[in-house]
Amino acid sequence: MSLQIVFTDARQKNDRGSNSSVASWLDRHLSFNTRVRFRLYKMIAVRMRQRATFERILTLYGRQLRRRGKTSVPRILDEIIDSIVTDGKNYAEAFRPFVPEDEYMMIFAGTKSGDIPGAMELICDVKSRTGVILNSAKKMATQPLLYLGIIVVYLYTIARFVIPSLLVGITMSKTDSMALDILVFASRLASPVNAVLILCFLAFSFVATWWSLSRLTGFLRLWLEKIPPWSIYRNIQGYIWMSSFIALVQSGVPESEALKNQIDRANPWLKERLSAILYNLKHQGGSLPDAMWQAGFDFPSPEIIDDIESCWGGKGAYQRLLEASKNWADEIQIATTTQTKYVQSGFTILMMTVLGGLMIVSEMVGRDMMNIGHFH
pLDDT tens-place string over residues 146-161 = 877 887 787 777 777 7
Q: Closest by alpha carbon to 49, among 131, 110, 3, 118?
A: 118
8 A C-beta contact, residue 185 and residue 358: no
Domain boundary among 64, 99, 134: 99
Domain boundary among 99, 120, 155: 99
Spatial separation of the C-alpha atoms in residues 251 and 92, rounded to whole Å: 13
Domain boundary among 84, 99, 114: 99
Domain enclosing residue 50, as ranges: 1-99
* Co-location of 307 and 175 in the same domain: yes
* Co-location of 35 and 129 in the same domain: no
Q: Closest by alpha carbon to 322, among 136, 101, 106?
A: 106
* Co-location of 173 and 193 in the same domain: yes
Spatial separation of the C-alpha atoms in residues 93 and 302, rounded to whole Å: 34
H or E element in which residue 294 lies: helix 288-295
* Co-location of 325 and 269 in the same domain: yes
Residue 281 burial class via C-beta count within 10 angstroms: exposed 0-12, middle 13-18, buried 19 and up:
buried
* Co-location of 70 and 125 in the same domain: no
Kindly state the percentage of the chain with pLDDT values over 90. Answer: 38
Residues of the chain whose pLDDT is less than 70? Answer: 1-21, 162-163, 165-177, 179-180, 183, 190, 365-366, 368-376
Q: What is the dihedral of CA 31, 33, 39, 41, to 10 degrees?
A: 120
* Co-location of 2 and 138 in the same domain: no
Phi and psi at residue 314, in whole multiples of 5°?
75, -175
The set of residues, in sequence order, having a beta carbon less than 8 Å from that of 194 and lying 6+ positions away, is 188
* Co-location of 94 and 139 in the same domain: no
Distance of CA 227 to the CA centre of its chain: 15
* Co-location of 168 and 309 in the same domain: yes
Q: HEC states along 217-252?
A: CHHHHHHHCCCCCHHHHHHHHHHHHHHHHHHHHHCC
* Co-location of 129 and 257 in the same domain: yes
* Co-location of 21 and 85 in the same domain: yes
Number of domains in the chain: 2
Give residue 79's pLDDT. 93
* Co-location of 94 and 116 in the same domain: no
191-223 pLDDT tens trace: 778 778 888 888 899 899 999 999 999 999 999
Give residue 181's pLDDT. 73
Q: Which amino acid is at 250?
A: Q
* Co-location of 77 and 109 in the same domain: no
Spatial separation of the C-alpha atoms in residues 347 and 353, rounded to whole Å: 10
